[in-house]
Structure 1
Amino acid sequence: MAEPSVGRLRESERAELERLRAEAREKDKRIRELEVEHDVCKRLAALWVK
């Protein structure tokens, strides 16, 4: 079994890497959205307590 050259990706590996990167971007976006929602909830709770 021949190994690919160091630093070279097969087409299937490149596609998988692109898919994983896109998935990571989507998860990062969702995390930011949840952080904003969390901040809004904290502010609303603080106003409600006053």
Structure 2
Amino acid sequence: MSFLKSFPPPGPAEGLLRQQPDTEAVLNGKGLGTGTLYIAERRIKRTCC
């Protein structure tokens, strides 16, 4: 079962509040890698590599 999907980073119309590079994603104690975390008014997005 896969629930991690790929979407483009939020754009200006979505109210980007913060962009944090070098953020590590962890799922069930397992590191999934680092990427950029985007936090917007409408959604949260993390891009890899």
Normalization by structure 2: what TM-score?
Answer: 0.16
Computing the radius of gyration over CA atoms, which structure comes out larger, 1 or 2?
1
Bigger relative contact order, structure 1 or 2 (CA pairs below 8 A, ≥6 apart): 2
Larger helix fraction of residues? 1
